[in-house]
Amino acid sequence: MNVFRILGDLSHLLAILILLAKMWRSKSCAGISGKSQVLFALVFSTRYLDLFFVFISLYNLVMKVIYLLCSYITIYMIYGKLRKTYDRENDTFRLEFLLIPVIGLSFLENYDFIPTELLWTFSIYLEAVAILPQLFMISNTGEAETITTHYLFFLGLYRALYLANWIWRYHTEKFYDQIAIISGVVQTIFYCDFFYLYITKVLKGKKLSLP
Amino acid sequence: GAESKLKDEL
């Protein structure tokens, strides 16, 4: 464990809690892509199955349980409690355009052709593209609530910090996880446009609105 | 690439 990974996990946890707080306080999930949240729940469900078979550390166990719980609560809020505020018309990204290539690539590029490895690989590739429906929705509506931009910022920052973690681990313990690293780079690149808007607009107190 | 080692990362 290193500082980049701890900060990355905390950034991820903060993002998830910001989203829940936004929905809880505003009693609305306007501007939130339910599709992205479904993909995140799928990422956690396929990656954290080892929860029941392998004990790595208390930290690892607790964080996995929190992520799984929060992701399902988030989906319950969007499609259950606050479904009247769910902006279905703007959340139109075709999930099959993400799931089919990700499933295909998981079968092609993996470390081992066994169920647990295929599921882990699927979750890594899926996480890289899971935010696309949310970014697509913002481009559809042309703007995003400020609290939503903070959610996206910490969500993007988490994997960027993981990139630093992999650089650190490579130099200190020759650790190199090619699938996770390449996927993490792609995932972070998808946020670059948003990061630019966040830093030039939101941090200056303006509202995030796309040109 | 690395083999399928213990997945200690989240």
Each residue's pLDDT tens digit, A2-24: 999 999 999 999 999 999 999 99
> Is A46 a residue whose pLDDT tops 80?
yes
Amino acid A108: pLDDT: 98
- Residue A168 at interface with chain B, using a CB cutoff of 8 Å: no
d(CA A29, CA A34): 9
ipTM value for the complex: 0.86
**Chain B residues with beta carbon closer than 8 angstroms to that of A64:** 10
Q: Which residue of B has its CA nearest to A47?
A: B10
The closest alpha carbon to A19, from A143, A154, A195, belongs to A154
Residue B4 confidence (pLDDT) above 70: no
Decide if B8 and A63 are in contact by the 8 Å CB cutoff.
no
CA-nearest residue to A176 within chain B is: B2
Which among B2, B3, B10 has CB closest to A60?
B10
Instruction: Examine the pLDDT at A103 and tell me if it is beyond 90.
Output: yes
Residue B5's pLDDT band (cuts 50, 70, 90): low
Residue A196 CB: number of other CB atoms within 10 A? 10
pLDDT tens readout for residues A110-154: 999 999 999 999 999 999 999 999 999 999 999 999 999 999 999
Quick check: A176 and B1 CB within 8 A? yes
Residues A62-75: tens digit of each pLDDT: 999 999 999 999 99
Question: Which residues in chain A have their CB less than 8 angstroms from residue B1's CB?
Answer: 111, 176-179
pLDDT reported for residue A211: 74
Of B1, B3, B7, the CB nearest to A120: B7
| Beta carbons within 10 angstroms of residue A15's beta carbon | 20
Q: How many C-beta atoms surround the C-beta of residue A164 within 10 A?
A: 15
The rounded mean pLDDT for chain A is 97
pLDDT score at B1:
42
* Residue among A173, A105, A176, A94 at smallest CA distance from A132: A94
Q: Which of B1, B8, B10 comes nearest A179 by C-beta? A: B1
Where is pLDDT greater, at A211 or A112?
A112
* Sign of CA pseudo-dihedral A68, A71, A75, A77: positive
User: What secondary structure, in 3-state letters, does chain A show?
Assistant: CCHHHHHHHHHHHHHHHHHHHHHHHHCCCCCCCHHHHHHHHHHHHHHHHHHHCCCCCHHHHHHHHHHHHHHHHHHHHHHHHCHHHCCHHHCCCCCHHHHHHHHHHHHHCCCCCCHHHHHHHHHHHHHHHCCHHHHHHHHHHCEECHHHHHHHHHHHHHHHHHHHHHHHHHHHHCCCCHHHHHHHHHHHHHHHHHHHHHHHCHHHCCCEECC
- What are the angstrom distances between the C-alpha of A202 and each of A126, A134, A146, A153, A171? 28, 18, 7, 10, 35
Contacts of A94 (CB under 8 A, 6+ apart): none
